[in-house]
Structure 1
Amino acid sequence: MIQFILNNQVIKTTANAGITLLDFIREHQQLKGTKIGCREGDCGACTVLVGELKSNSVTYQSITSCISPLGNANGKHIVTVEGINLPKELNTVQKAMTDNYATQCGFCTPGFVVSMTGYALDGNKTTSCNDAISGNICRCTGYKSIEKAGFEIEQKLQQKDNNHQIEWLIKEGFIPNYFETIPEKLALLQPKTFEKTGVKIANGTDIYVQHADKMAEEDVHLLTDQNALKEISFTEGFCTLGANTTVTEIAESKKLQTLFPKLKQFLKLVSSEQIRNMGTIGGNFVNASPIGDMSIFFLALNSTLTIQKEDGSTRQVSFQEFHQNYKKYDLQEGEILQSIAFKTLEEKEFFNFEKVSKRTHLDIASVNAAGRISIENNIITNAHFSVGGVAPIPKYLFNTNEFLLGKPICSETVKEAETILQSEISPITDVRGASSYKRLLAKQLFFAHFIELFPNQVELKKLIA
């Protein structure tokens, strides 16, 4: 039996773990404030908060419930817009929205309110309230009024007492009183351990976009309760990340931030807050999209995958060889991705990630690219560049990387390497752009790596001359 807390109510249900959390909230519990919009995780109208008990306190994140399996709510606190209502007045976020005339038809408003409340509940936030609503779309109000409401909330939260966060938020009218009782209630739950049979699902951000109705009728093998698949570890010069590690967990890792000073800047380009909180790197890899952001990121790190077989034994494969053809990859029946590992960057190694999409946030790439490069005495000693959106698979540039070895770091080298890059790619014309446009983007992003990393050696005017 699935057990969790929905707002202030303990839920025990035998409903299929594969139905969407959104459908359970609306149809089983008749809580209609959580809206049905795109059913693809794009609009944010279905945003809810998921609270998980950690060290006697509850940590909250926003997710899109339309592409989340019900089973992943097991043992957690799920908060809908009804769950943040105060008895006799608007809560602080709702009041900021009305005071700034930030709602019109109101359809998207619950999602915005829940996302902003999630921002208030996150005691470790270093981003802005407007980052928290990067996954919410409004079609009639205009974002300036919503941004003003977000700025007002940020101002109020500057006074927050992080040592007594929940008490302060209750006192200031952000959340109702019952939030104080949630840690104790979660500790008393006896959540179900799921059978390891059926369709393997992590957090569902890909498979539920395409097959939500089918999953509602299937047995599902949920992977998110396997903590061993979520660890980030550093051993003997290597970083290993469990396949169930989310993009948010990567972005919040202090050690990874030290390795990649622009890590948060890079990962803000990946989807939206809600999807980053859900999307796993293993899921991104087996989605096998030619423009998978995390696939391109880790290809450039020259990574190795560990694959776990049904009997518990493992095998390793170079990530460069994992993707074989469009939506085909080296994963046999019964196998799952266990982890990915890469050698940590040394003093004279550099990394960069670039992405071009029609929207800055909450969008898939037209072309994305990443590069890891080592320099010694102005000579390239190692090079690993990847590019997405220009081939049937996430493309590791074998020939380009080989050419760069032993070459001086200068504009002429980069121009010659880009010519080889063009011979390795085969973009097609589709909704994200014409083939010629994607070739141009691949060229410009390749140049961008060197201009960003080596501005004194590589000059833009010489590259375009």
Structure 2
Amino acid sequence: MANSIRFFLNGQKQDVTVRPDTTVLEWLRLGPRLTGTKEGCAEGDCGACSVLLGDVSNGEIRYHAANSCIMTMGQIDGRALVTVEGLKGETLHPIQAAMAENGSSQCGFCTPGIVISLAGLAASGGQADDHAIHDALAGNLCRCTGYRPIVEAARKVMGEGGASIPGPAVAAFAEVEPAQQIAASGAMFHQPRTLDDLLQLRHEKPRAVLLAGGTDLGVALADFHGDWGEVISTAHVRELRDIGETPTHLSFGAAVTWEEVLAHVAPLYPSFATLIRRFGSTQIRSMGTIGGNIGTASPIGDGPPALIALGVEIELASLDGTRAMPLEDFFLDYRKTELKPDEVIASLRIPKPAAGQDFRVYKISKRYDQDISTVCGAFSVVREDGIVRSARIAFGGMAAIPKRVREAEAALVGRPINEETTRASAAAIRDALSPLSDWRGSAEYRSQVAANLAERFRRDLAGEVVEVMAL
């Protein structure tokens, strides 16, 4: 058992004794006084708190941007942390220099986070196209400068081949091997390495906080300044980090991040890839996990409607063994699921596209990027000679749990997708769903929009839909 957290901060080894549930942002500003990292929203949305996290993968250190406001100190154990102060060596980092030369900053509050996000892109060897740049900036808000000079600075650096991140050598990571337990100031942070160890801990400590990426749970921690006396992290469980592929399925351990999921599903389901990019910025996707998105059982979680429409099956595990079920059967009520106190989500399987299959998922929100869904609708059909042989339709953001709409599916099966069958499917959607009213939209609005998505799906398959930036 360790009493301290070991990691690299701007290239220097650290051995810090602090409660492991302290947010990284709080420690950075109050401990080493690295105040370039700012607090804006404290919800992982504005990007002012962005830092770079480095991990060793395939013999090299790979960095990605993350939100320090919703990340705990326990989560950086064994990793490399880079703040905006750490980018500058004897000279400015190329992104810093380009931002300064191009007049890409006014008040400067958001600038450190923007520099960090673009430095992460530059280090990844990403392409210099605007799509990659805008994706890297999607989690950073700037209210003063406007994005044109920021994007121009990014283009300049990416056009010159990017830039590396200063930091420790790969071999040095052996000095900060993550501890299996960290205890400090009355808090305990467990980091099991195997599924068996995780299940034993879950059996012994069913009331401990089960922490995956923390992109949902971390918001409550930061907003309400609460304490987590005991945490079980899934980040280092080997089985939960596995990614597998068969001729018919992709399989993901529950601790696989959305960024990793995106890389595998994008070639198979481009519409799903667009959704993943929209509901999570680079900072969120690099930390948030597919299992956590399911397990938190948020009624506005965007992953479940798409996964239900794809026919995903999840596997739950405990010391008593494993059990599998269709994802639509997992959700019971608001924040209530089939998961027992001593169980964890172990993995899920996503079927690969079948012959004749079309899949689309539509997110309706007030803001295009990183916003809460008012309605999220997913449609999957398999057609043969123009006739629908099978269909799966699911909606989220409407009520307490995501729901599969079998009545709407039945209106399509055995028929072609035309105006008549689409009207019948839309009517079934209106009849089957009982949406709520809140600040995002009224029940009547949600019902109408959900039904309209059936028509959008028809027009999409006919090649009539033009993608827009906001709805």
TM-score where L is the length of structure 1: 0.89
Alpha-carbon distance in 2 for matches of 1:445, 1:352: 10
1:212-361 matches, cutoff 5 A: 212=222, 216-235=227-246, 237-253=248-264, 256-309=265-318, 311=319, 313-361=321-369
Alpha-carbon distance in 2 for matches of 1:242, 1:187: 25
Alpha-carbon distance in 2 for matches of 1:346, 1:379: 15
Shift of 1:455: 4.0
Task: Give the corresponding residue for 1:139.
Answer: 143
Shift of 1:389: 2.0
Task: Give the corresponding residue for 1:121.
Answer: 123
State whether structure 2 residue 9 is matched by structure 1 residue 6. yes
Cα contact 1:16–1:216 (8 A) shared by 2: no
State whether structure 2 residue 390 is matched by structure 1 residue 368. no
Shift of 1:242: 1.1
Which letter does structure 1 place at the counterpart of 2:16?
Answer: T
1:260-296 alpha-carbon deviations (Å, 9 max, x no partner): 2445333222221111111111111122222211111
Shift of 1:41: 0.2
Shift of 1:53: 0.5
Cα contact 1:288–1:394 (8 A) shared by 2: no
Task: Give the corresponding residue for 2:194.
Answer: none
Cα contact 2:37–2:51 (8 A) shared by 1: yes
Alpha-carbon distance in 2 for matches of 1:46, 1:214: 17
Task: Give the corresponding residue for 1:183.
Answer: 170
Cα contact 2:66–2:287 (8 A) shared by 1: yes
Shift of 1:215: 5.5
Name the SS of the counterpart of 1:302 in structure 2.
Answer: coil
Alpha-carbon distance in 1 for matches of 2:209, 2:217: 10
Shift of 1:412: 0.9
**Percent of aligned pairs with the same amino acid:** 34
Shift of 1:428: 2.0
1:392-416 alpha-carbon deviations (Å, 9 max, x no partner): 2112112212332212222211111
Which letter does structure 2 place at the counterpart of 1:9?
Answer: Q
Task: Give the corresponding residue for 2:197.
Answer: none
Q: CA RMSD in A?
A: 2.0
TM-score where L is the length of structure 2: 0.87
Task: Give the corresponding residue for 2:193.
Answer: none
Describe the shift of the 1:37–1:409 C-alpha distance in structure 2 as closer, same or farther (beyond 3 A): same
Describe the shift of the 1:312–1:39 C-alpha distance in structure 2 as closer, same or farther (beyond 3 A): farther
Cα contact 1:18–1:215 (8 A) shared by 2: no
Correspondence for 2:156 among 141, 152, 157: 152
Name structure 1 gaps, 5 residues minimum: 161-168, 459-465
Task: Give the corresponding residue for 2:184.
Answer: none
Which letter does structure 1 place at the counterpart of 2:175?
Answer: L
Cα contact 2:272–2:361 (8 A) shared by 1: no
Which letter does structure 1 place at the counterpart of 2:48?
Answer: A
Describe the shift of the 1:228–1:312 C-alpha distance in structure 2 as closer, same or farther (beyond 3 A): farther
Shift of 1:141: 2.0
Which letter does structure 1 place at the counterpart of 2:170?
Answer: P
Cα contact 1:290–1:395 (8 A) shared by 2: no
1:63-102 matches, cutoff 5 A: 63-87=66-90, 89-102=91-104
1:104-139 alpha-carbon deviations (Å, 9 max, x no partner): 111111100111100111125585222211100112
Name structure 2 gaps, 5 residues minimum: 182-189, 191-200, 466-471
Name the SS of the counterpart of 1:95 in structure 2.
Answer: helix
1:2-28 alpha-carbon deviations (Å, 9 max, x no partner): 221111211123322222121222222
State whether structure 2 residue 411 is matched by structure 1 residue 407. no
Alpha-carbon distance in 2 for matches of 1:369, 1:317: 22
State whether structure 2 residue 71 is matched by structure 1 residue 62. no
Describe the shift of the 1:416–1:49 C-alpha distance in structure 2 as closer, same or farther (beyond 3 A): same
Which letter does structure 2 place at the counterpart of 1:243?
Answer: A
Task: Give the corresponding residue for 2:114.
Answer: 112
